[in-house]
Structure 1
Amino acid sequence: MSTAELAPYFHPTQIVLVDDDIDFLGNLSLQLEADLPYLLFDSTTKALGYINDRQIDGRSRERFFRVCEGEGGQRVSLDTDAIAREMHYSNRFSQISVAMVDYAMPQMNGLDFCRRIQNPHIKKILFTGVASEKAAIDAFNDGVIDRYIRKSEHLVYDHLNSTIRELQQAHIRETFSHASDVFHVAAPSWLEDRHVIALMENLRRRYHIVEYYLVSDPAGFMLVDGEGNLYRLMLITPEERDAQIALMRRAGAPRDCLKALERGEVLIAPSVAQLVAAGESDILRHWSRYSRPSTALNSHRYAFWALFDQRDMPGAPSPPDATFSRYLDWLDTVGYSLM
């Protein structure tokens, strides 16, 4: 998978920051963006023990893929039901995705620390000074570390924040990349659509989205903000929009509802459309409550989108019990006790 691509899901993951200078760690904690979950360690021994004591989550390849039989034999597809269930995994934020360590440490240097991390999927950042830069370059070329950042560089903390976010995404994408190397994985092409990627970034900023999960029927994502509120992004083709209009017409939808749908002004929430398809047509008396504006998307296939706040929608999935906001509060209470 390329970096110009959405992973089928994303949620924040834990970052471990290691430096023997407690004052530097304190300043670093003030420079990190507020929604980055981190733990601070001033001891490489404690940090390495914490990382390696964490059980490596090896279930991803099994739980997110399913084998389908077709004319050309077996192929592997993404299991969107399993992906959506991930938001109810209570420990999802505690998964370690990135470790950042200073090179010059008293117990072991940063490169030795990185070599002793057992989980191969954890991304590693080395903080270097001038004297250790060549060692960092060699380690990067050898695959020991994923990035190195010079402490003396201009806007170093901006660079660090953006690098952490990039590696958090890469950590999750890697699960699907490895599977694609072994199998032909049938993944939605719009995960690579630049218009969809730009839309997701816009919605993330506007609604303070911290998690998303691929869904289907119709295509889109379940978006989750820091408080656990759900939003359903619906991406729909012209053909699928016509099918929704036909469904509403068969169900006896009010005339003003059909006109709004036919003019392309609104879309009906997926959960409500499913209830209508199951025979609960009375719900359409309140159709305006369950519709949202339809917006054109300049995509080669998915031509319209709408966003539905799931708190207002019957038949919507349950929100997660474990929220990112509560997880950040928990980190604030225990973070320094682990140092």
Structure 2
Amino acid sequence: MSFPLFHRPGAIVFLDDEPSYLEMLAMVLPRQWNVRLYLRPQTCINDLQQEPPLWEADAWAQQQMIEQWRAGTPLIPQILRYWSTHGERFGLTRVCVFDYAMPSMDGLQALGELTDWQGGRVLLTGQADEHVAVSAFNRGLIDQFIAKQTPDISQHLITVVQRMLTQPQVRHSQIWRSALTQPQHALLQVPSVGRQLASLTSSHWVEHVVIGQPFGILGVDADGRVSWLQLESAAGLAELAELAESQGMKTSAADDIRAGRTLVDLELQQALGQSTPPRLVPAFSVGHEGTLLAALFPVELAASPPGLTGYSHWLKKRGPRSVQD
């Protein structure tokens, strides 16, 4: 799997006609998940059918950032404003998990109603229905099926859904790929680089965006704290050192940059329109090939819009999980 250029939390929808099963899920699913639980297929279908225009509007907002960047507006302040003003993005559903055996409408029929909805689809089946699920999977109607009699099904379900939540979304990848140069994109496609970046981003942030000018990853954690993982190719260290010297930094500092011992946040400050003293941070290698270096810089609160409160705050406002009729 390639490293996602754009990632954020999203909702997970469960549809089952057994209230006790949904109530069990409400208790055991990870607390950091935005979970919606439905008893009635039609209610669930109606809610999900409202989402495609919202997905389209969200993609348009992202595309507009790219267009404004091409016209000369730095991307980092735009992304910060997007995060602070588009809190509804967390409510868009990434994965739905439907039970197959329901009295009024089976799970495949319900999924068939979601013609324009593009999220991941999981079908829960009984032992007698497994052949139906295999056929649906082979025809591309579902992405995954899970037998309800699977040992420790709750943990298995969590593993499957978590894997689907981390998969890159095609539309987002296409939008943000256009912000990278071909050499930058090629560096991110190196398997060892992708694996290490995936580990770094998942441990630091709930949401991130990769950009190419400057080259790096802007991320925000669950509490709304923003930081910047600056990426620098080994071949670009000399140019960064020259930039540091042109801004009055000492020769010894520039030498450390050339040697790959440190990176400086001059390009981040320029993108944010800041004039504070540049910060030097120890660099580390990303991947096994030695072609990419990184350093992590906090983004000062003054640069973050006041509305950027974080995913945890948004999730808390939703209140406790409950089963919807």
TM range (shorter): 0.7 to 0.9
User: Is 2:319 the partner of 1:332?
Assistant: yes
8 Å Cα contact 2:244/2:266 also seen in 1: no
- The residue type paired with residue 147 of structure 1 is Q
Distance 2:322 2:293 in 1: 47
8 Å Cα contact 2:231/2:293 also seen in 1: yes
Q: Secondary structure at the match of 2:33?
A: coil
Distance 1:300 1:251 in 2: 31
Distance 1:306 1:161 in 2: 32
Match for residue 300 of structure 2 among 301, 311, 315: 311
List aligned pairs for 1:122-201, cutoff 5 A.
122-170=119-167, 172-175=168-171, 188-201=185-198
Q: 1:209-234 CA distances to partner (integer Å, 9 max, x unpaired)?
A: 11111122231111111011111111
Shift of 1:327: 2.3
8 Å Cα contact 1:60/1:175 also seen in 2: no
Distance 1:60 1:189 in 2: 27
- The residue type paired with residue 4 of structure 2 is A
**Are the structure 2 counterparts of residues 332 and 22 from structure 1 closer, same or farther at C-alpha, using a change threshold of 3 Å?**
same
8 Å Cα contact 2:242/2:254 also seen in 1: no
Shift of 1:113: 0.9
Match for residue 34 of structure 1 among 31, 34, 55: 31
Which residue number in structure 2 is paired with residue 212 of structure 1?
208
State the TM-score, normalized to the length of structure 1: 0.79
Q: 1:146-192 CA distances to partner (integer Å, 9 max, x unpaired)?
A: 2110111123223212221232344x522157889xxxx96822332
Shift of 1:271: 4.7
Question: RMSD between aligned alpha carbons?
Answer: 3.3
List aligned pairs for 1:216-227, cutoff 5 A.
216-227=212-223
Q: 1:125-146 CA distances to partner (integer Å, 9 max, x unpaired)?
A: 1111111111111111222222
**Are the structure 2 counterparts of residues 65 and 319 from structure 1 closer, same or farther at C-alpha, using a change threshold of 3 Å?**
same
Q: 1:50-100 CA distances to partner (integer Å, 9 max, x unpaired)?
A: 21233532246655559x9xxxxxxxxxx9667676534221111112111
Q: Secondary structure at the match of 1:20?
A: coil
- The residue type paired with residue 21 of structure 1 is E
Q: Secondary structure at the match of 2:102?
A: coil
**Are the structure 2 counterparts of residues 189 and 155 from structure 1 closer, same or farther at C-alpha, using a change threshold of 3 Å?**
farther
Which residue number in structure 2 is paired with residue 291 of structure 1?
280
Distance 1:300 1:218 in 2: 22
8 Å Cα contact 1:93/1:324 also seen in 2: yes
User: Is 2:308 the partner of 1:321?
Assistant: yes
The number of residue pairs the alignment matches comes to 309
**Are the structure 2 counterparts of residues 65 and 327 from structure 1 closer, same or farther at C-alpha, using a change threshold of 3 Å?**
closer
Moved over 6 A (4+): 81-84, 177-180
Q: What is the percentage of aligned positions where both structures have the same residue?
A: 21
Match for residue 47 of structure 1 among 38, 44, 47: 44
Which residue number in structure 1 is paired with residue 19 of structure 2?
22
Distance 2:169 2:88 in 1: 19
8 Å Cα contact 2:263/2:280 also seen in 1: yes
Q: 1:236-277 CA distances to partner (integer Å, 9 max, x unpaired)?
A: 01232211211222222135533543443221124555289x
8 Å Cα contact 1:228/1:320 also seen in 2: no
Q: Secondary structure at the match of 2:227?
A: strand
